[in-house]
Structure 1
């Protein structure tokens, strides 16, 4: 029996490179044992004729097989299957026999943690009211381009080797200077650790602070990714209700006074948008000190306050003893940047840096160089000032359009800070149904009732306003109104 009869050779089909298809067939024939170790491969001319391809394609496929060790050349004799592939046929035969005798093996069971996590959200198009989107004006884009060109021209030595897992010291110094001036954070550059964003920082904090089974206060309703990060760390989330003054500390004490930590969004609570009152801030810090617990302050949108100066950070009020402060450039600049930071108490700086190294070794040095230049040149502060004015106008335009076009269905809660607003539904309109109808109509809104745990679920829609100019709000609300009616 010739080589042509021991394997089902087929002509290549359109859509994939011919050389790759030839290579795949010859390799499959070797794995199946149709072409034996030490046996001669078909001549390139004969195989080309059999497959109906150019001889050069077979020659290229053979060269790849030679490079990978599947084949070996013998001077003046041709090309042969490598003699040291004797195990290949045995493995193939064993696989066939196993398939004949046994049912297919079950896939390995995932860990319990994976079973508790929800699937990642599918990326959404830039539909009106998608949350978390940002804008940059032409001035900021030009400045960003300049910072990028300067970083590329320098291309310093640190880009060509591994560096500090906590991040570039120059950028950490710029972050510390900014936080002291803008947020009243008490810190040195050595306490700053650069992360890929707020979520990365929250995950690091959870791993550093908690043991499996530890109880943790979480806002109810609250940010779902924080809940999942705590679940992944093996912690037991204790839902603590939120009212107009923020986290109800007395409820947390009543439910779990022995909690090891509290994860909060005090500047702009997610999703309700309220700011934690000063009385509650001081009450929370007092509990943490007395209980020996930690506070993780996720200050994800603190730059954007539209009525007065930003509120004092919990970290600054505490003096940095019990609070891990979390911030991000992904909201102040743009989400695709993937750069954030945390400020650790002195006792936790080294352990958190070690965890950050184990996660992904270090932050990207080139991105850090660009952001550092953008900050040190004064462009970051100017960008924030302009964005604050623009986002306020966008918020107001959205609130006005909702009142005018959907006042009978939605009750708008206009926040003094943040990047989204909540419109509570009226007259029995279910927020889950409204979300689905809006999406079908080309508009993205998010139902807030699924974000509740033990607290009574209030029906409402979360609408982002920072990623869309004020001029787009009327048309977007018109599409939402059409979908809801």
Structure 2
């Protein structure tokens, strides 16, 4: 089948293994390289091209999204879609020189209608991940999401505890760690969760890991099969999405609204999914709380066909309006929820300690996989953390930080409103150490939040573009904004200075 216009011929071959959306991307790149399409040329509309190719509109839409993100196309709303006028001669030559089709090995996720579409091609995902990784690792930078107040952590106290353990802990502190975790720490976590999160569990249900990614890997290696489908919040946690796409799990984006993940939409899109990954206490990145009705609906969905819910409870300790909400796991009467927590937010991310509470029926499988992976976290830090908790320092630290963050979140909110006015919507969530703000649409269309975040990064700030957290982030109706942290803002002067810098990045 062939589509022709005066400047472009697109051919697709349904017998080829290469998915149709990738073939469309390949044809556009080739046309640009050959000079059949030049910067500023208009390309066929989505619906028209889909009709002529006899394929779903979503397939063409996804191809265009990839090409927009790669810089080849530019969407101008009602005016149509055009070859990007900013394509330089050097870029055109690079395409012509035979740049490979990076979408060839993309991992896919099933969408409504039975067609498969990508979360991102490897090149697209990598391009997104580079600035994300730069913003979230290495030397801490202002407004970095998910970063606790490093200035307020009791480092001297922690150093004494670690040193004491290193001196008196015996050879066990230096040997290979237990793959399932240091038992005293597992016991303390079980007690803590029962008191603070309403999660009733035994120590042998608690598995210690080297971070949230390691937790997901342990869970999926233990319980998932190749091709299993997983509901994933849309928008949802970026780094988890990118990692999961590498595992072979087929991600099904499910919309999020003010009540959290829309369970009914999830059932419509993929009723046979085996997993759902959710952030019910503080949705990442929007900050919404999963309503009780949605919680019960999600549990009912899981119970009906022995599905698994992965609950990421990453920063629930910090709530500023009312008491911390009980975990989804506390409502789980049929043992279908795997509860995941981390010490990166309540302690510091360099500790690299996280944990998961698995249902009793899954203990044997998870333990077997944990032993085969043999990637236990360092015993020295686990033992020191167990001491930190046992001696009451952990509870006191969390209490102090809850008060401190409640003050610092107001500083940044006030500064943002003063600097941006009506150009930015600031709605502080009731908890967490980061939040998302949304840009008002400009006269010439949506704000390019990726460009704003890039300029902010060049100015030394670590904000992230909100649109990247969506499955199809470059569509015109995708909310545009920024995701930022506030835990390390020390006073009004600093808040005003940082926000003025950020404001200068809005208009370039």
TM-score between both structures, scaled by the size of structure 1 = 0.74
- In structure 2, the residue matched to 1:475 is 497
Q: d(CA) in 2 for partners of 1:336 and 1:320? A: 35
Q: CA RMSD in A?
A: 2.3
1:426-465 to 2 correspondences below 5 Å? 426-428=440-442, 429-453=447-471, 456-465=477-486
Q: d(CA) in 2 for partners of 1:322 and 1:380? A: 29
Q: d(CA) in 2 for partners of 1:264 and 1:126? A: 27
Structure 2 residue runs without a partner (length 5+)? 1-103, 108-119
Please report how far the alpha carbon of residue 401 of structure 1 lies from its aligned counterpart in structure 2 after TM superposition. 0.4
- In structure 2, the residue matched to 1:348 is 362
Contact 1:220 1:454 in 2 (8 A): no
Q: d(CA) in 2 for partners of 1:111 and 1:480? A: 37
Match of 1:266 among 280, 300, 306: 280
Change (3 A) 1:258 1:400: same
Computing the radius of gyration from Cα coordinates, the structure with the larger value is 1
Change (3 A) 1:115 1:462: closer
- In structure 2, the residue matched to 1:214 is 228
Please report how far the alpha carbon of residue 163 of structure 1 lies from its aligned counterpart in structure 2 after TM superposition. 4.4
SS of residue in 1 equivalent to 2:377: coil
Change (3 A) 1:313 1:138: closer
- In structure 2, the residue matched to 1:415 is 429
Q: d(CA) in 2 for partners of 1:446 and 1:125? A: 16
Please report how far the alpha carbon of residue 256 of structure 1 lies from its aligned counterpart in structure 2 after TM superposition. 1.0
SS of residue in 2 equivalent to 1:273: coil
1:53-132 to 2 correspondences below 5 Å? 116=122, 118=126, 121-122=133-134, 123=137, 125-132=139-146
**1:34-70 C-alpha deviation (Å, 9 max, x unpaired):** xxxxxxxxxxxxxxxxxxxxxxxxxxxxxxxxxxxxx
Match of 1:277 among 291, 296, 317: 291
Change (3 A) 1:216 1:462: same
Change (3 A) 1:449 1:175: same
Change (3 A) 1:375 1:483: same
Please report how far the alpha carbon of residue 230 of structure 1 lies from its aligned counterpart in structure 2 after TM superposition. 2.5
1:286-365 to 2 correspondences below 5 Å? 286-319=300-333, 321-365=335-379
Please report how far the alpha carbon of residue 341 of structure 1 lies from its aligned counterpart in structure 2 after TM superposition. 0.4
**1:242-295 C-alpha deviation (Å, 9 max, x unpaired):** 000000000011111111010001111111111111111111001100121000
Which deviates more, 173-182 or 126-135? Answer: 126-135
Please report how far the alpha carbon of residue 115 of structure 1 lies from its aligned counterpart in structure 2 after TM superposition. 7.3
1:148-187 to 2 correspondences below 5 Å? 148-187=162-201
Contact 1:267 1:311 in 2 (8 A): yes
- In structure 2, the residue matched to 1:201 is 215
SS of residue in 2 equivalent to 1:331: coil
- In structure 2, the residue matched to 1:13 is none
Q: d(CA) in 2 for partners of 1:405 and 1:232? A: 40
Q: d(CA) in 1 for partners of 2:183 and 2:354? A: 14
Contact 2:190 2:206 in 1 (8 A): yes
Which deviates more, 129-138 or 336-345? Answer: 129-138
Q: d(CA) in 2 for partners of 1:425 and 1:136? A: 29
TM-score between both structures, scaled by the size of structure 2 = 0.70
Contact 1:450 1:457 in 2 (8 A): no
2:249 is aligned with 1:235: yes
Change (3 A) 1:305 1:333: same
Change (3 A) 1:350 1:158: farther
Change (3 A) 1:385 1:137: farther
User: How many equivalent pairs are there?
Assistant: 378
Q: d(CA) in 2 for partners of 1:468 and 1:360? A: 39
Change (3 A) 1:483 1:372: same
**1:278-324 C-alpha deviation (Å, 9 max, x unpaired):** 11111100110012100000001111111111111111110470000
